[in-house]
Amino acid sequence: MSNSGIYVQVPFCQTKCTYCNFHTGVVASSRFRPYVEAVCREIRGHRLLLEAVGANWPGHLRGGGVARETRSEDLAVDTVYIGGGTPSLLDPAHLQNILNAIRASFAADLTEVTLEADPETIEAGKAAAWVRAGINRVSFGLQSFSDKELLAAGRMHRRADIYRSVPSLRDAGIRNISFDLIAGLSHQTKVSWRQSLEELAVLAPEHVSVYLLEIDEDSRLGKELLQGGEKYCARSVPSEDDMAEFYE
What pLDDT shows up at residue 70?
47
Which DSSP string do the residues of 176-227 spell out, in sequence order?
Answer: EEEEEEEET-TT--HHHHHHHHHHHHHH--SEEEEEE----TTSHHHHHHHH
Q: Which domains does the chain have, with CATH numbers?
A: 4-247 (3.80.30.20)
- Please tell me the predicted confidence (pLDDT) of residue 215: 83
Q: Read off the pLDDT of each residue in 20-39 and give the average, rounded to a whole number.
A: 92
Q: Lowest mean pLDDT: which of 1-5, 118-122, 141-145? A: 1-5
Q: How many CB atoms lie within 10 A of CB 180?
A: 17
CA pair distance 178, 156, nearest whole angstrom = 19
Task: Give residue 184's region: left, alpha or beta (phi > 0; psi -120 to 50).
Answer: left
Q: Determine which helix (DSSP H) or strand (DSSP E) holds 127, and give its type and residue range.
A: helix 124-133
Quick: pLDDT tens for 82-109: 999 999 999 999 999 999 999 988 888 8
pLDDT at 77 over 80: yes
CA dist., res. 49 & res. 177, Å (int): 35
Torsion 59-64-66-69 (CA) sign: negative
Kindly state the percentage of the chain with pLDDT values over 70: 89
Cβ contacts of 96 within 8 Å, gap of 6 or more: 129, 132, 133
Phi and psi torsions of 181, nearest 5° = -125, 150
Helix axis angle, 124-133 relative to 92-105, nearest 10°? 10
- DSSP-derived 3-state class of residue 234: helix
Burial of 53 (0-12, 13-18, 19+ CB in 10 A): exposed
User: Is the pLDDT at 244 greater than 80, yes or no?
Assistant: yes
pLDDT tens track for 143-202: 999 999 999 999 999 999 999 999 999 999 999 999 999 999 999 999 999 999 999 999
Q: What is the mean pLDDT of the chain?
A: 88
